[in-house]
Amino acid sequence: MEATQALKLIKGRRSIRRFTDKEISKEALTDLVEAAVWAPSGSNAQAWEFVILGKKDKELMNRMVAFLPGVSEAPAAMIWLCLDRAKEKAKAGKLGLDVMGVMDISMAAQNIMLMAHAMGLGSCVIGSFNESVTRIALKLPEHVTPELLLILGYPAEEGFGPPRPPVQQNMHWREFGAKDI
C-alpha cells in the first residue's frame, strides 16, 4: 500500500452509528480480530481479550443497547475489547495495569476500525458504558475488565467528519511552541 492510500484509509474512517440489517460473517469478524492482535503491545503483554457478539446474539445486544449511550439499536456485531489484568500485571507490572494495557487496547481498536473500513464496514468506538452491566451480560471473570466497545455493521448513514485544524497547529519542532525548524 502506498502512503497516500494509507492516509486516505485513515481519513475515510468515520464513526458510524446506524447500520443496515446485513449480517457480518464469522470469518469477517475473525479477520477484524486478526488485525487487532497485530497492534503494538507494551512489554509484549498481549493481555487483550475480545468478546464478540454477532448475528445469533441480537437480543443480548438489544439488552446491552438499552444501557448504552450513542447507540439506538443493536448493530450487526459488537466487539468488546477487554483486558486480562492478571496477565497484564504479570507481564507489564504496575505501568501496564495503570496505562499500557489500555493503550494496547486502544491501538488494537484502531486496527479493527481501519480494517473494518477497508472491508466496507462501519464502526464506532464507545468508551462510556457501565462496567457492571457489561460484566453481567458477558459473564466476564473478575480479572478481566471491559475497556472499549466497538459496534460494527454495514453503514446505513454517511459518517460525518468534524474538520481538523491545520496540522501545523498541533506540531512543535524541537521545543513546545516552536512552529518551524
Q: Does 70 bind another protein (CB under 8 A)?
A: yes
- CB nearer to another protein: give 69 or 177: 69
Examine residue 173 and tell whether it contacts another protein (CB under 8 A).
Answer: no
Task: Tell me if 155 sits within 8 A of 94, measured CB to CB.
Answer: no
Could you tell me which residues are beta bridge partners of residue 151?
Answer: 78, 124
Cβ 134 to another protein shortest distance, Å: 10
Q: Which of 29, 47, 68, 137 binds another protein (CB under 8 A)?
A: 68
Helix (H) or strand (E) holding 181: none
Q: Which of 20, 25, 130, 168 binds another protein (CB under 8 A)?
A: 130
Q: Which long-range contacts (CB under 8 A, 24 or more apart) does 23-29 make?
A: 23/54, 23/55, 23/76, 24/54, 24/55, 24/76, 24/77, 24/121, 24/152, 24/153, 24/154, 26/54, 28/119, 28/121, 29/54, 29/77, 29/79, 29/152
Give the x-and-dash track for 18-57 against another protein (CB under 8 A): ----------------------------------------
In the complex, what is the shortest distance from the CB of residue 130 to another protein, in angstroms, rounded to a whole number?
5
Q: Determine the size of the site formed for another protein (CB under 8 A).
A: 13
Given the rule CB under 8 A, which residues bind another protein? Answer: 63, 66-70, 72, 128-130, 133, 160, 162
